[in-house]
Structure 1
């Protein structure tokens, strides 16, 4: 049974309905602009480097709200630096690791990685390969179980890049496993692109899943999502602890809640 429905046809209808709900991103971007004063009062950071990875088919332009918010909170924030995110390759992964190493070497401190959608997959795999350089990882609606829980972007990815080869399939099978560094997965039950089951990691002492009230396309501007990112980044390098929302915000993050 898929998505609570007992026929392939109804399952497809459910996926299309969720995809149609992605129109909420307009309200989320509007809320971002209206929440600037509130966002400026979020906990400030210690100035360490943060590298932000965009989602599939998008570029650094899309992560502007994340990067501007974190810059205003005192972090040394950088775009991933490779233009539009269209595909994965071993060469690209090597270049991304080099980028992290550059910021690690220049700052003398571990780097935090924030990735939206496919960008979160990249961030997680970089941390798995180079944990000595990574402080923590935050992923937003990332398909860490591959394309089987993805509505539209999965077929587009395969159309542009072909089917995954055996090595990539094997890597996908292990992506949900906890990383060797602290990691926070932000997911939404109302994500119209990546089903929340496909965005959640196996929980462990340093691995958590946090529910947020967001669309997939609006996650990078949603004020609630940005507040969670700020909370996760503000922690000391060796003092990571699990997310505890404030009493006034707790209802937005309940796993059995409405949002």
Structure 2
């Protein structure tokens, strides 16, 4: 008599999340493309932007491993358009230290003094700085008029970037990856919020820089720029002043 062996059913293998990290070829071409975008910005520097700022205060947050100097072209462009543009005033951005919420509260306290006497402000953040802009706007939703993020992967994780090593170098630890925190960061603040993203971004995934679902006050706008050059690419500069200027007119 032949005895059949019991059938063993193995559990299905978990489906891995798609790897959205930009191609290394895009990353390798970042410096050259950013240089070309800098030349394009210089060629347009003689053209003064429309005066749409009306003295409105705008705070700029730099990306990981950079400081206010990196965003000087954008800050100067905003000033020439009539805005009161301020650097975040904290030097190099090395990422949050310790408890994220406590760190953000301390940053909010420092900014409160920096933006005075303005009762209304807008935030513009590049890359990691965009996270600060979004999270601080949630705390200051009655005071923040508008948020613009530039190449900020709020809808992703460390696997959607090519700079996880830089965070580890600056902080000596991995970037936070808790599911609850990622879900919170993906939710925009309750104020008009614009995300500028580029499919040519070689540092962060462009998909991670877009909202996964519709939000009443959030919108995504595609630009043609490298990640490194987003702080001075003419298309980005014009979008930032255009968006903030239109909002100022609507509020007037």
Contact 1:80 1:96 in 2 (8 A): no
Q: Does the aligned pair in 2 maintain the 1:136–1:183 contact within 8 Å?
A: yes
Structure with greater helix percent: 1
CA distance in structure 1 between the partners assigned to 2:243 and 2:228 by the alignment? 21
After superposition, the Cα gap between the structure-2 partners of 1:237 and 1:169, relative to the gap in structure 1 and judged at 3 Å, is: farther
Deviation at 1:99? 3.7
Q: CA–CA distance in 2 between the matches of 1:209 and 1:174?
A: 18
Question: 2:233, 2:186 → 1: CA distance?
Answer: 25
Distance change >3 Å, CA 238–CA 221, structure 1 → 2: closer
Give the alignment partner of residue 39 of structure 2, picking from 27, 30, 41.
30
Q: Is the 8 A contact 1:112 1:135 kept in 2?
A: yes
Q: 2:83 aligns with which of 59, 75, 78?
A: 75
Contact 1:176–1:200 (Cα < 8 Å) also in 2 = no
Query: What TM-score comes out, normalization by structure 2 length?
Result: 0.82
CA distance in 2, matches of 1:187, 1:238: 24
d(CA) in 2 for partners of 1:223 and 1:143? 21
Secondary structure of 1:65's counterpart equals helix
- TM-score norm. by structure 1 comes to 0.80
Aligned residues: 227
Instruction: Map 1:46-61 onto structure 2 (within 5 A).
Output: 46-61=54-69
Structure 1, unaligned stretches of length 5 or more?
A: 4-10, 241-259
Residue pair 1:178, 1:203 contacting (<8 A) in 2 also: no
- Structure of greater Rg: 2
For residues 37-91 of structure 1, the C-alpha deviation after alignment (integer angstroms, 9 at most, x for no partner) is: 33x1335212110000000000111010011000111111110000000121345
Secondary structure, counterpart of 1:125 in structure 2: helix
Which of 214, 218, 223 does residue 203 from structure 1 map onto?
214
- Displacement after TM superposition at 1:154 (Å): 1.6
Cα separation, partners in 2 of 1:228 and 1:193, compared to 1, 3 Å: same
CA distance in 2: counterparts of 1:24 and 1:121, whole angstroms:
25
Do the aligned residues in 1 keep the contact of 2:59 with 2:123 (CA within 8 Å)? yes
Q: With a CA cutoff of 8 Å and minimum separation of 6, indicate the structure with the bigger relative contact order.
A: 2
Q: Match for 1:111 among 111, 121, 125? A: 121
Q: CA deviation at 1:227?
A: 0.4
Instruction: Report the CA distance between 1:95 and its aligned residue.
Output: 3.0
